[in-house]
Amino acid sequence: MFTQIHIPQRNLTLKQPIGLFINNEFVKSENEEKIETINPSTGEVITSFYSGSFADVDRAVKAASDAYENVWKHTSPAERSLLLMKLADLIERDKCTLAALETLDSGKPYHSNAMLDLEQIIYLTRYFAGATDKFTTGETIPISEEKFCYTLMAPYGVVGQIVPWNYPLAMASWKIQGCLATGNTIVLKPAENTSLSVLYLAQLFVEAGFPPGVLNIIPGNGAVVGNALGKHPGIEKISFTGSTSVGLGILKASAESNMKDVTLECGGKSPAVIFEDANLEQAIEWTAKGIFFNSGQNCTANSRIYVHYSNYDKFLELFTKHIKEKWGFGKNFDPFDEDCTIGPVISKKQFDKISEFLKGEMPHPETPYKLSYTCKVHKVLDDPPESNKGFFIPPTIFTSVPYDSPWNTEEIFGPAVTVTPFETYDEVIKLANNTSYGLASAIFTENIRTANKFINDIQAGTVWVNSSNDPEMSVPFGGYKMSGIGRELGKSGVETYCQTKAVHMSLAQPGS
């Protein structure tokens, strides 16, 4: 259930798991079907791995259920903490290998992106290791001399988890480590086009000493494995990160099966608002990072920038200059190159979708033969040469954008941003909230009153003040509106995997 992968840029040859991970072993899928995984920087096949079926999900759920009932729910918080601490040490030991796999499989720039993800994962794992006995203590509720009540924070049992392709290891770690800290067991589905690093990580759970069946990983197509997880009656909770359309399907599957608890993070169209008194240099640096980091493939990407009209022309000039100086493909379009800060997008499908937006023209969805949207397109860097087979898209700025056009309302999920002038606070807060999403937002101002008003008025789960896309593992994360349900990370990243049990303790004397 292994193959060899060679990464010449890192002088690295590794033994890569390609099987489903069930009961601490890598096994073939029941139908022995496989999925090819593509290097997005070259368009070439890396390898293929086994793709799960409904029957494989059932096998994994049984393994997770047996592990929960017989072993895992009987472990103490201290025991789970020690295992997570060992895991963190192993991830730190192998971080260069894991980052290299992320770069190979997803196209993330190795030095400026994948390695940062690994540092975050190491910190997060130690954070949750320390949380096992701190966020699940319940509370006592005195009632009278003859009765008192208390609550327990109890695990669900078997939890299904589905992670996206833009942060394969990071999103898996957000979910896995917090879930295991509370005493649940897991069946996880990685994205079908970025499964390699998560499968490699599974070996470290075995080495750390996690019992068989506590973590199970079933790669495969979303319509098969994801659907099976959503509908399986043996799964008590599901946590999903991905597109809004699939998130709606997860909700439906829960309702049609056993009403399993659901946590969803479903994307965003996050605004960044730059007021007249903002530090422009600071705003430019943060908003560029906020849209171009990870090639714009971030749910929290500040893909809409609103600039006070007095700074608009200057902002566009300096923003473009900053991108040319700081953001580029590096030598030979190689994400392992130290100068590479923008890698390819994940796939040909995503490349084609984004390319449609870059044309700057689009029919109105309701009246395609009567009205079309248009905007101005500013490609900051040149297109890659035709000989390049990777999925590279240059940083792109859209101006003169109609407020209700797809560029302002749809999640492009690439290195493309709209820049729009505004005059008044009331105008811009209306524009910022004019979306079905509400995941994140950013404001740049030196006026604390303006900042505080914005914090209260913006419909978003995260507000960055004078920064953007600057997450902390100890701070809750989640969205408003169609960006999702529930929160992850921080204390919430533990509590989301617990359910509250109320205990009523009678002390009354018999017959009284």
Start-to-end CA distance of the chain, whole Å, equals 67
- Give the sign of the dihedral formed by CA 388, CA 389, CA 390, CA 392: positive
32: exposed, middle or buried (Cβ count in 10 Å: 0-12, 13-18, 19+): exposed
Retrieve residue 404's tokens: 């209700």
102, 192, 236, 265: which is the annotated catalytic residue? 265
127-161 burial code (b ≥16 CB/10 A, e <16): bbbebbeebbeeeeeeeeeeeeeeeebbbbbbbbb
Farthest-apart Cα atoms in the chain, separation: 89
Single out the residue of 356, 375, 55 nearest to residue 218, CA to CA: 55
Single out the residue of 297, 245, 383 nearest to residue 106, CA to CA: 297
| 306 touches 428 (CB < 8 A) | yes
d(CA 461, CA 478): 6
Dihedral (C-alpha) 80, 82, 83, 89: value to the nearest 10 degrees?
150
Single out the residue of 307, 303, 341 nearest to residue 322, CA to CA: 341
| 233 touches 169 (CB < 8 A) | no
d(CA 193, CA 242): 13
Q: Give the amino acid at 85.
A: M
Q: Let me know if 265 is a catalytic residue.
A: yes
Long-range interactions of 132-140: CB distance < 8 A, separation 24+: 132/77, 132/78, 132/80, 132/81, 132/84, 132/181, 132/182, 133/77, 133/78, 133/81, 135/491, 135/494, 135/495, 136/77, 136/182, 136/494, 136/495, 136/498, 138/500
3-state secondary structure of 317: helix
Owner of token pair 């524009």: 431
Just list the catalytic residues. Answer: 265
